[in-house]
Amino acid sequence: MNKLIVIKIGGNVIDDPAALKRFLTAFASLPGSKLLVHGGGKVATQVAGKLGIETTMVEGRRITDQPMLDVVTMVYGGLVNKQIVAKLQALDVNAIGITGADAGTILAHKRPVKDIDYGMVGDIEEVNSGQIQFFLRQDLTPVFAPITYSAAGDLLNTNADTMASAIAVDMVLHNEVTLVYCFEKKGVLANPEDDNSVIAELTPAVYAEYKAAGTINKGMIPKLDNAFRALEKGVAKVIICHADDVCSAVEQGAGTTLKLS
């Protein structure tokens, strides 16, 4: 079976030009089939401010009304995505920058209103793995911006961690998949104040203990929930690592490797 690496890169790396350049150089050097899912970084907030559009965050999630959706579509699907694609082309990676709306790759629905109305935020319904596999067969490297579409034809702002997990799960139909979450830390930390306290292996039981103790909290929880869900649905390996360590993580196991037992 073919091997595929699905990598998600966080917004803090995107906000740092030097860190992004290092990551993309490493990404370009990875052999075989690969695809990239990127977050948005702070650019959308900066652009919204210049346009007089207020940014509201709840538990690290962006409330996306229609004006904010217009901004994130322009910034994530346009500026950030195409900058990454251009840099990969310069590194001899034939990248194709897309959103979930392009070629109908990721269908979602507007998140139902419960305690919080997130606005035009999408929860994923379906990934068109056959279309993504077609891109890969053409020796193209898909670069996904965190935007999806609904059956009604609306664009939806969608969490990039969730997109990466959903893509990885559906691509299991065609490949042996490794899912890698890259961000500004060396992995999942046993001590948030000590960047060297990396937990080498994390199982659901150990994760529950750290979560109960409050050591693992905030934005790391949905990332890990998505990661374990991917393992349960057939993804071969999930790794969480520093963006600078992506090659050693894939090849040698740097960072935190998640296992079901």
Q: What percent of the chain has pLDDT over 90?
A: 81
Q: Is 40 annotated as a binding residue?
A: yes
Q: What is the pLDDT of residue 217?
A: 83
**pLDDT at res. 94:** 98
Q: Which of 40-44, 92-96, 159-163, 190-194 has the highest mean pLDDT?
A: 92-96
Is 137 annotated as contributing to ligand binding? Answer: no
pLDDT at 60 over 80: no
- 236 and 250 Cβ atoms separated by less than 8 Å: no
Q: What superfamily does domain 2-258 belong to in CATH?
A: Acetylglutamate kinase-like (3.40.1160.10)
Average pLDDT over residues 222-245: 93
Q: What is the pLDDT of residue 214?
A: 87
Does 186 or 222 have the greater pLDDT score? 186
Tokens of 194: 């000590």
Instruction: Report whether pLDDT(61) > 90.
Output: no
pLDDT of residue 11: 86
Q: What backbone torsions phi and psi does residue 81 show, to the nearest 5 degrees?
A: -60, -45
- Overall size of the chain counted in residues: 261
Range 30-46 average pLDDT:
93
Tell me: is residue 62 an annotated ligand-binding position: yes
**Structure tokens belonging to residue 204:** 């659901």
Tens-digit pLDDT profile for residues 155-210: 999 999 999 999 999 999 999 999 999 999 999 999 888 989 999 999 999 999 99
Where exactly are the structural domains of the chain?
2-258
* Number of neighbours of residue 196 by Cβ within 10 angstroms: 9
Task: Tell me if 258 sits within 8 A of 238, measured CB to CB.
Answer: yes
d(CA 38, CA 60): 16
Residue with tokens 């490493």: 26
Model pLDDT, residue 259: 93
Contacts from 170-174 at CB under 8 Å and sequence distance 24+? 170/127, 170/129, 170/132, 171/4, 171/6, 171/127, 171/129, 171/132, 171/133, 172/233, 172/234, 172/235, 173/129, 174/1, 174/2, 174/4, 174/129, 174/130, 174/133
- pTM value? 0.95
